[in-house]
Amino acid sequence: MPRPLCDSEYIYGLHDPGGEYIMLEEGVPGWVLVTEGIGSDPNNHNGRDYRYLSDKGLGVMVRINAGYGGVGTIPYERFYGDFAKRCANFVRNSFGAHIWIIGNEMNYPIEWPGADWDWNADPPRPKSLSTTGEPITPDRYVKCYKLVREAIRSLPGHENDQVITGAIAPWNALTTYPGNPNGDWIQYFRDMLEMLGPDQCDGIALHTYTHGPEVYKIDSEEKLGPPFSQYHYHFRAYVDFMNAIPRNMRQLPVYITETDQDTEWRNENTSWVRRAYGEIDWWNKNHPDQQIRSLILYRWPKLDKWYIEGKQGVIDDFRMALRYKYKWKPSIPTPEPDEPYRAILVAVLAPQKADTGSTIELRLSIRNDGTMTWPAGGDHPVRVGYHWYDRDGTAVPAADLRTALPRDVAPGEKLELDVRVGAPRVPGQFRLSLDMVHENITWFADRGSPTLDLDFEIVGEPLPQEQFFPQTQVWVRGVFLSFFNTYGLDICGWPITEEFVENGMRVQYFQRVALEEYAPGKVRLRLAAQHAWEARAKIAALERQVEALKRRLQTGWAPAPQPQITDVIQQLPRDAAAMVKRPESEIKHIVINHTAVRPGVEIRRIAQAHRRSWPAIVCQFYVEGDGTIYQTNPLDEVVSADQAWIYDSINIHVAGNFNKDIPTEAQLDSLAALCAWLLDTYNLDTTEVKGAKEFVTTASPGKQWLEGQRWKDMLYERIEALRGTGAPESPVASEEIQKQLEALERERDALLEQLTEAKARIEALQAKLDALEGTPLPETPGQIEQPPIKDVITELPRDPEKMFRRSTDEIRYIVINHTAVPPTVSVKRVAKAHRARWPAIVCQFYIEGDGTILQTNPLNEVVDGKQDWIRLGVNIHVAGNFTDDIPNEAQLNSLAALCAWLMHTYGIPEENVRGVQEFIVTGSPGKQWLHGQQWKYILLDRIRSLLAAVPTEESTDTDLVRRLQAQVARLQAENAQLQAELDDLKPDLAALRKQVNQLNDQVKALEEDKRKLADERQRLQVTVEEQQRTIAELQDRLRSGEGGPFVVPKPQMEYLVDKLPRHPTKTYESRSLEDITHITIHHSAAPANISAQTIANYHVNSKSHQWPGIGYHFYVKPDGSIDHTQDMGLISYHVYKNNEYTVGVCVAGNFTDVIPTPAQINATAHLVAWLMQELKVPIDNVMGHKQFPYNTTSCPGRQWLKDQKWHDLLKTRIQGVLEGKLGAAIKPLYHYVLFWQHGDAWAEEDWLGARNYVARFRPTSGFSVDDAMQAQNVT
């Protein structure tokens, strides 16, 4: 007789009918899964009769597909409505089944409608763009599923049918969509379920397998490699799916509808089948809230290589498994009050390599999967944190950066967040474990939440682990140095103590913060007076205990009697080895909790739920609904040492949910008796009885604890009535109390001494802090005070490893520069521009528009060690362009103060304060420096005034004279040397002057020649245009006759295929030219003068490529000449996942801000038109690199589709060539900015000054006079 759903109470089953006799012979009527391809015709009413199975008591599941192969497991989106009607028609006319699975492995492209892929390729890819198929994304599947479910459950007799979601293919990462760029199959599964929710889903199907027939792989914990290193590689992939089911859907039925050994079944009785069913039974017994109702072996009939029919070894293994008679039970919701901390973290964007000590930027998708709203602010915010581990699992120190949430995050809410992570300071292979942290309360992982683990390679030299600070004569090392390097002087101040150990932690004080290493490699802020406060708290507690003992001695007061307690510690599930020992002297509170479920739920079930997050049930005592008291843990053991409300408290759970009700009279009486006994035993005040919600964010012990009926007050009243009601103390007990009293008084006195010492330490540190920050240092006569300087070195882009180190004794000059841009342009933007040429901004100091002085580089580091004005100078940049104006008053005053201090400190004479234009050919620091207003001399006057104001005393005269004498002697020696060099150069001077005159004459002659050539060029241009018009007319005539369509001639090109670098061992695959259907346009993203030889060398020999040869088939240079660089019959690498059917044409240059030269446009159009003709490629299949699927790139530059849109320009020109207009000119440029270039020298300063103009108006820019002549406007 079939059950109402035609289901089975057993978990055994087979895919497809035929082998069910085995289950019936063993007396275990399990499941049979049948698949049907029913199409999408809404007028088709055919069905099936499954009563031949269900009438035998077998469970029947029917998987409904639109079809197989290219038909799709569900149809195209436009047919979802028709498919729903067809499903309803099928179900209406089918018998013996009430469980329907809709679709199969929707994330696997083989199941997409219209898909035809090459599954032998690695990775698999469509055979052409047109056979990609329609991806079944989660939102599409949910739309289809809802329509089908509604149609089926609307049928009479099928209102309670189970409509099951199709299984997701594990380990398949081919389906990507916004928010899931890596194709994460678990995220696909989770997204699908979250879109459905618990009210629109009846059950869930899963698939899981082992990779091979080995039995140990059933319970293997082996994981995948990055970026999926958190997921199982074998059978326990089902666990990843189960953990991803939203908490509000875990009561739904789960069916594993396919499992096998991945390869064909080995015909042996290896116990693989038994172990697989034992694994699922183990899950069901340990997860009463998430029951798996079936494990279906794939498959019985000989329809593919995975068949079981006739394989007696597998059949015998199945029979032996059936004899265990494993059954599932209805899922029982698990209480959730003890699981507020659950987060699902998924990496959206994450690198796999980083430099030592660098800051890594990640993008994470984060979902609150717990029951608590995450606060973004307040005293205990929730943030994103992390830990680093080496290969042995040992914690590795690194800067501890926490990322704040942008807002409070409610349960079930999801957001994406950019996260900053500090890399380890040493190179190697490491694991980054990302987690959420409830600040000063708990890490989520400590409460059972999964972490996101990513593998990283850290490269570079080990960074220094210690640094001496001469300002305070203090060393800073390890994690304290990492913290200082991360947050800088503004946050930390200078270090003011060496490291010392306090309360078992390494501690170091800085001017503005105090730091402690609370775990290996982890540092946090501490309050300077923290230990004084802790000492006071301990003293207050001891005082209370002392008073209580005195009262007992004086009044004969006796502790409340112990109530009747039943010990069930060993009867509950617990991991004794993982429990934390705590001395009973640490007990300070009694914490009351409620179970949040009805009192009838047995204590073992509560303990099982707690075991998912803790090593045992959290509480030490448990009060049943009838008032029975159970002891659930020893008083000297707790489940965690990290949370004070657990470690220093006795936790009591009261059975029930007290949001609306309160405990029964029996519970209140038992709880009061238990609390009174514990309070008297540990000499605690009644006020130390508190609810869990008074320590952490939780609802426990219910809303009525502090509101409504306020059962806390009721409990206090009963406790007070019971305290001190025990039997009077005996004389022996009184002696023991006296000894205990004396011991407590000694402990109190010792703490008072510690408090006094702490006060003294704080006062000493404050005095030192005042001396460093508030109290000015006494000025030595003859000194100039350093002006206020803000250190921004670490905030600017720079490569410290490439900086040139020098001694400050080498400083000879102060070199003044202007930025040549408005003062509103930030120092970071200026530094970024300098990084294009130098390892950092050139200057050591930077004067902002308001006179603020910024230090931008250390004085012992410069960007170049070859040029004296850099190597021997202190370079100062003044914000602004001083071609027409001069610095403002604030800038001049700050600059004068800075120069005076530097001159005095480093003995720099006035004549060595120079503008950079006095060293090299440049306009900096502006025309007004030496001409016009001559602000150099304005600056020197102010410097002299500051130097003249320096106080002097007799005691300094001798030292001053000695310094001046030494300086004079040095200058005299330098002068003598220069005079000798001058004498040597005088004979050459006359010859040079003569040579200059001759060169001037040659220049004049060349200018005349240039003028004549320009005239000739103009004449030839007119001639060429006339000839082009003639050619065009002749071609038009030719096309109008009977000569047939225009044939594009092959353009001139240089054949370099056999001349470019190739890999010694690797080769590209071959193809027929008939396979080519698309032409890809690239830009080289490099200077236009880079040769094809250089590109090929990079593709073949760079560590990031190691390709068989150059990736491009053709290369078009700025002058329009074409290089044939790769055989078109080879599938070279140039368009990820689309190489097989494309030809790559690379246009030399970077077209982010400009477009190709007119010569390149003409040549590329001619080349592409010829290729289209030869390969029969339509013009719509000429595409930029970025336009192909799977390619997230900017190639061939921003201007391809935006701004000047050279995509349109090229397509227009190609069409012209195809029409025979070979010589036609392209549409003229509107505006061209022409820069000068002579050999390696070019107008770099002009370019920097023009960047804002170019960014705003988008003109074409370059160095070609010919190109400029084709523009309407030239600058």
Instruction: Encode pLDDT of 467-476 as tens digits.
Output: 788 778 888 8
Separation of alpha carbons 423 and 355, rounded Å: 7
Sign of the C-alpha dihedral computed for residues 1012, 1014, 1020 and 1026 taken in this order: negative
Partners of 1196 in the β-ladder? none
Tell me the pLDDT band of 550, cut-offs 50, 70 and 90: low
Q: What is the pLDDT of residue 873?
A: 94
Q: Sketch out the chain's domains with CATH numbers.
A: 12-322 (3.20.20.80), 343-459 (2.60.40.10), 466-526 (no CATH), 559-726 (3.40.80.10), 790-948 (3.40.80.10), 1054-1227 (3.40.80.10)
pLDDT value at 980 more than 70: no
Separation of alpha carbons 1039 and 1275, rounded Å: 42
Q: What is the pLDDT of residue 818?
A: 94
**Bigger pLDDT: 1201 vs 100:** 100
pLDDT value at 892 more than 50: yes
Instruction: Encode pLDDT of 78-99 as tens digits.
Output: 999 999 999 999 999 999 999 9
> Residue 666: phi, psi to the nearest 5?
-65, -40
Q: What is the pLDDT of residue 129?
A: 79
Q: What is the pLDDT of residue 1238?
A: 74
Instruction: Encode pLDDT of 631-673 as tens digits.
Output: 999 999 999 887 778 988 999 999 999 999 999 999 999 999 9
**What is the bridge-based pairing of β-strands 1142-1147 and 1114-1116?**
parallel
User: What's the number of CA atoms in the CB half-sphere (13 Å) around residue 881?
Assistant: 13
Instruction: Encode pLDDT of 745-802 as tens digits.
Output: 676 666 666 556 555 555 555 554 455 444 333 333 456 788 999 989 988 999 888 8
Which structure tokens are listed for 808? Answer: 């400050």
Distance of CA 578 to the CA centre of its chain: 32
pLDDT value at 1204 more than 80: yes
The continuous run of DSSP H or E covering 580 comes out as strand 580-581
For 532, other C-beta atoms within 10 Å of its C-beta total: 18
Residue with tokens 């001891």: 542
Closest by CA to 1175, choosing from 1143, 1135, 1220, 1144, is 1143
Tell me the pLDDT band of 209, cut-offs 50, 70 and 90: very high
Q: Where are the beta strands (DSSP E) in 907-966?
A: 913-915
Cβ pair 86, 76 in contact under 8 A: no
> At residue 1234, what is the residue type?
L
Rounded to 5°, angle at Cα 983 from 981 and 989: 100
pLDDT value at 825 more than 80: yes
> Residue 102: phi, psi to the nearest 5?
-100, 105
Closest by CA to 115, choosing from 130, 102, 100, 104, is 130
**Bigger pLDDT: 958 vs 588:** 588
Percent of the chain with pLDDT over 90: 49
Instruction: Encode pLDDT of 376-421 as tens digits.
Output: 887 788 999 999 898 888 888 777 788 999 999 998 899 999 999 9
CA-to-CA dists, residue 570 to 132, 614, 615, 632, angstroms: 60, 16, 13, 8
Sheet holding 589-594, edge to edge: 566-567, 629-631, 621-623, 649-654, 589-594, 689-691
pLDDT value at 69 more than 60: yes
Q: How many residues does the chain have?
A: 1275
Cβ pair 1165, 1217 in contact under 8 A: yes
**Bigger pLDDT: 349 vs 315:** 315
Q: What is the pLDDT of residue 773?
A: 43
pLDDT value at 734 more than 50: yes
Closest by CA to 674, choosing from 563, 589, 558, 559, is 563
Per DSSP, the three-state class of 758 is helix
Cβ pair 853, 914 in contact under 8 A: no
pLDDT value at 533 more than 50: no
pTM greater than 0.95: no
DSSP character string of 415-435 = EEEEEEEEPBSS-EEEEEEEE
pLDDT value at 1198 more than 70: yes
Instruction: Encode pLDDT of 243-275 as tens digits.
Output: 999 888 999 999 999 999 999 999 999 999 999
Burial class of residue 301 in the structure, from the number of CB atoms within 10 Å of its CB (0-12 exposed, 13-18 middle, 19+ buried)? middle
Separation of alpha carbons 644 and 628, rounded Å: 27
**Bigger pLDDT: 516 vs 840:** 840
* Mean pLDDT on 716-734: 71
pLDDT value at 369 more than 50: yes
DSSP character string of 704-754 = GGTSTT-HHHHHHHHHHHHTTBSPPPPHHHHHHHHHHHHHHHHHHHHHHHH
Q: What is the pLDDT of residue 603?
A: 92
> Residue 674: phi, psi to the nearest 5?
-65, -45
**What is the bridge-based pairing of β-strands 117-118 and 125-126?**
antiparallel
> At residue 240, what is the residue type?
D
Cβ pair 87, 148 in contact under 8 A: yes
DSSP character string of 25-74 = HTT---EEEEEEE--S-TT-----B-HHHHTTT-EEEEEEES-SGGG-SS
Separation of alpha carbons 507 and 517, rounded Å: 7
Whether the ω angle into residue 462 lies within 30 degrees of 0, i.e. cis, is no
Most confident of 759-768, 806-815, 868-877: 868-877
Q: What is the pLDDT of residue 810?
A: 86
Query: What is the separation, in whole angstroms, between the first and last Cα of the chain?
Result: 92
Separation of alpha carbons 610 and 655, rounded Å: 14
Which structure tokens are listed for 126? Answer: 């469509």
Q: Where are the beta strands (DSSP E) in 973-1129?
A: 1054-1055, 1069-1070, 1078-1083, 1114-1116, 1122-1124
Q: Name the average pLDDT for the chain.
A: 85
Tell me the pLDDT band of 959, cut-offs 50, 70 and 90: very low
* Stretch among 70-79, 144-153, 184-193, 576-585 having the lowest mean pLDDT: 576-585
Percent of the chain with pLDDT over 70: 84
* Mean pLDDT on 336-352: 80
Separation of alpha carbons 951 and 852, rounded Å: 26
Sign of the C-alpha dihedral computed for residues 938, 939, 940 and 944 taken in this order: positive
Separation of alpha carbons 289 and 273, rounded Å: 25
Contacts of residue 178, defined as CB under 8 A and 6 or more positions apart, other chains included, come to none
Separation of alpha carbons 685 and 679, rounded Å: 7
Sign of the C-alpha dihedral computed for residues 408, 411, 414 and 420 taken in this order: positive
